């Protein structure tokens, strides 16, 4: 659902494993796979706070978090993966 909202350019964040890891790394006390109402509420509050502080859309904050931790790939390897040689 979040992906669909993002496709519609709705200011929605997507909770991926990397995003959750980045949130935990930033000190947010959430589960490794945050699905409970309590964890989702904590994430919403934190994202809203950062959006208010930075003026960035929630979808940008989500993307920044997801790309700031975990394995990142070079543009060339992504092109190869996507078949855009």
**Residue 85 pLDDT > 60:** no
Q: What is the pLDDT of residues 39-70, one digit of tens each?
A: 999 999 999 999 999 999 998 999 899 889 98
Instruction: Give CA separation, 30 vs 22, 43, 53, 65, 75, in Å.
Output: 11, 8, 21, 15, 31
Rounded to whole angstroms, the Cα distance separating 78 from 68 reads 17
């Amino acid at each position: 659902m979040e992906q669909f909202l993002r496709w519609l350019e709705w200011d929605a964040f997507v909770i991926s494993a990397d995003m959750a890891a980045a949130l935990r790394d930033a000190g947010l006390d959430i589960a490794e796979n945050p699905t409970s109402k309590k964890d989702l509420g904590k994430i919403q509050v934190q994202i809203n706070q950062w959006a208010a502080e930075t003026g960035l859309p929630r979808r940008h904050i989500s993307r920044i978090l997801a790309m700031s931790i975990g394995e990142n790939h070079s543009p060339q390897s992504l092109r190869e993966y996507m078949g855009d040689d």
